[in-house]
Structure 1
Amino acid sequence: MPSVTVVGSGIVGLTSAIILQEKGFEVTIVAKECFDKTLSSKVGAIWFPFEIEPKEKANIWASLAYERYQNDIEPKNGVTFIPFLTAYNNHSNNDWTQTLPKGTVRKAKPSELPKGIKMAFISIVPLAEPRLYLPYLFEKFLKNGGHFEEREIKDIKELAALNTLVINCTGLGAKNLCNDEDLQPMRGQILRCKKMNTPSFADSTKKGALSYIINRSNDCVIGGTDYDNDWNRNVEASDTTLILNRLKAIGYNEAPPEILEEIVGLRPKRSPVRFEFDDNFSNIFHNYGHGGAGFTVAWGCAIELAELLTEKK
């Protein structure tokens, strides 16, 4: 049985590991922290192609992931399909709407639009709640015979020495690991609140003014921010106020949301996603830089990755 080491335990690392196991690889995950401390554990995790390039590949990966989520619904694993309103304008990439199954996407009626949003799609999309889905994936990985080692890799030479085949899914950590100048943080601050009686939506039409609500089974995520090249990991009261003011601006006039937690995460933004073998270390395959679309494309990337590696076996 061929052996492979996946570095990183977020959604990209876990999905890569599981797909490779399904293709007959013996897989070890090495990560500086377990899945519950990664960026993936903090996000809203709705299927939404956001801040990811190239769009052609992203749409293919997202479509493959959509199909995988359809077959990955199990009791209490956090995967559901929900209506999601997505704002767009004349400059938006709407190609993703063409990849969805027939009957799952339509243009929103004027009466369905939140205040300030002029055009939007309503689609039925996967929601994979991290607090349920990541433990489910990790347990599946272990049941499939996987091994996990908590260890920080310092440089690319140490990365290459891990195995005859290494998959680099370190997200933003790849900036220092690979000296990648193209990889930058996109800072996101969100509010985890008690569930709200309002539809889930996202408006990313204005850079620097990202706004969304994602209702989940036991809570709600309200966002957010999309600040490029911002390394600030601290919760900022000014951003919390900004998020709440944007909520009011769309016409939400009920009681203020009950905030359970304020969260900051740094998305790994790169143009394009690095999905390739390393030029200098031929045993390393890079799979990082998925921006704000990790849960949207991770399964698709993993599927293509496994096909590439299976051809090389």
Structure 2
Amino acid sequence: MSSPSIAVIGAGVIGLSVALRLQEKDHHVTIIAKDFPSPSETVDPRAAINYASQWAGAHNRFCPPRDDIDDALAARDHAMSLVTFDRMDDLARRHPEAGITFMKGVEYLEDPGPEYRSLSPVRAAELGYREFRLYRRDEFPDDRVKMGFEYRTWCVNPMVYCSFLLRRFVRRGGRVVRRELLREREAFTIPELANPVRVVLNCSGHGFGDPNSFITRGQTCVVANECSETVTRQKADGSWTFVIPRNFDGGTIIGGTKEPDNWHSEPSPDVRTRLLDTLASTYPPILQTGGGKMHVLSDIVGRRPTRKGGMRLEKEELGDGRLIVHAYGLGGRGYELSWGVADAVLELLSSGRARL
């Protein structure tokens, strides 16, 4: 009798990471997805706007949990980011072709919350920050900044990295099926699969009709100007600006917006101007690499799959020996938490617990 197969729905960074971890445990895995990694130069940005992994800034920015309250979800997510950090570090050393770059990450905060105000070097070390250093006031870009620090972090070129993961998956015997599914349970009936499917991993991003899921529109801009570090600034009004070098000829990302339930697919020229001007005032060296100005390559609009209450990470028993594990709704933190989520999925499959 042939052995059961596992089907993974979704070929974004979560689906690819989960599929590879399953392979490492000797499972037979097929990825079913509408969109797969491909060079950004050949992708129609409107047709693939919902393929969030294509358009992500794709870098690691730690979100430390508060130490004055018990926030299990924040602690869980931070632990997943540390798992992912270590895995990325290992991949970058062993596979320079993977599209991963480690570098300095800089953060400036105009209104730091308690989780940041408690970030002494000792606290940062306890939370797993590497090479952490608090900035002096004379190192801030202007008087509006109340706190600044740096640490070792990573970023990826999304399509180089996701294509690397997909190649490894196929080279190890994984199968891919290009298909748009209407429900998770449809994955149990795919005729192309030779072996019976008993386990489906729902890494679809938005889920299927989940009332808690919504999209968060993000607009960024790709410039040719070079940058050797990530820089993130939290403004007092709650908005953010950042610069992320993609490397591997991917340009530099300047962003960005977070617009819940905004379905507009076209980039706004006014938003582009605001993003570029804000970043230039925060990080003037970006202009020096372009002869005193920004060299725009393209605007990007993507839809982050977000979920009220955080990601859904849950095992659903269907009977007849079939089950679905849901792992979706990470908002803008898919890359940051990817390997931690993959490990959590394996734990769910091997445990009797129904929910994390």
Q: How high is the TM-score relative to the length of structure 2? A: 0.79
1:138 corresponding residue in structure 2: 166
1:139–1:251 distance in 2 versus 1, CA, 3 Å:
closer
Contact 1:212 1:222 in 2 (8 A): yes
Q: Distance in 2 between matches of 1:97 and 1:145?
A: 41
1:42 to 41, 55, 62: 55
Contact 2:216 2:261 in 1 (8 A): yes
* Structure possessing the higher relative contact order (Cα contacts under 8 Å, 6 or more residues apart): 1
Structure 2 residue 242 is the aligned partner of structure 1 residue 212: yes
| Comparing 196-205 and 90-99, the one that deviates more | 90-99
Q: Which secondary structure does the structure 2 equivalent of 1:257 belong to?
A: coil
1:26–1:155 distance in 2 versus 1, CA, 3 Å:
same
CA drift of 1:150 comes to 0.4
Paired residues, what number? 308
Contact 1:49 1:293 in 2 (8 A): no
1:79 corresponding residue in structure 2: 100
Q: Distance in 1 between matches of 2:34 and 2:252?
A: 29
Amino acid in structure 2 at the alignment position of 1:104: E
Q: Distance in 1 between matches of 2:235 and 2:216?
A: 16
Q: Distance in 2 between matches of 1:169 and 1:154?
A: 14
Amino acid in structure 1 at the alignment position of 2:172: N
After superposition, what is the alpha-carbon deviation per residue over 1:229-274, rounded to whole angstroms, capped at 9, x for unaligned? 2122211112112212212442638322101111001111222210
1:9 corresponding residue in structure 2: 11
After superposition, what is the alpha-carbon deviation per residue over 1:190-218, rounded to whole angstroms, capped at 9, x for unaligned? 11111335742112455662200012323
1:113 to 140, 143, 149: 140
1:57 corresponding residue in structure 2: 76
2:264 to 214, 227, 232: 232
Q: How high is the TM-score relative to the length of structure 1? A: 0.89
2:300 corresponding residue in structure 1: 263
Contact 1:32 1:150 in 2 (8 A): yes
Structure 2 stretches lacking a partner, 5+ long: 39-47, 66-71, 191-196
Q: Which secondary structure does the structure 1 equivalent of 2:15 belong to?
A: helix
CA drift of 1:10 comes to 0.5
After superposition, what is the alpha-carbon deviation per residue over 1:86-109, rounded to whole angstroms, capped at 9, x for unaligned? 234432644894565464222123
CA drift of 1:42 comes to 1.4
2:45 corresponding residue in structure 1: none
RMSD: 2.6
- Percent identity reads 27
Q: Distance in 2 between matches of 1:200 and 1:61?
A: 21
Aligned ranges 1:1-313 → 2 under 5 Å:
2-36=4-38, 37=48, 38-49=51-62, 54-73=73-92, 74-88=95-109, 89-91=111-113, 93-94=115-116, 97-98=124-125, 101=128, 103-115=130-142, 116-159=144-187, 161=189, 163-172=197-206, 174=207, 177=208, 179-197=209-227, 199-206=229-236, 209-217=239-247, 218=249, 219-250=251-282, 252=284, 254=287, 255-270=292-307, 271-278=309-316, 283-311=323-351
Q: Which secondary structure does the structure 2 equivalent of 1:154 belong to?
A: coil
1:168–1:250 distance in 2 versus 1, CA, 3 Å:
same
Structure 1 stretches lacking a partner, 5+ long: none
Q: Distance in 2 between matches of 1:195 and 1:6?
A: 38
| Comparing 33-42 and 77-86, the one that deviates more | 33-42
Structure possessing the higher radius of gyration over alpha carbons? 2
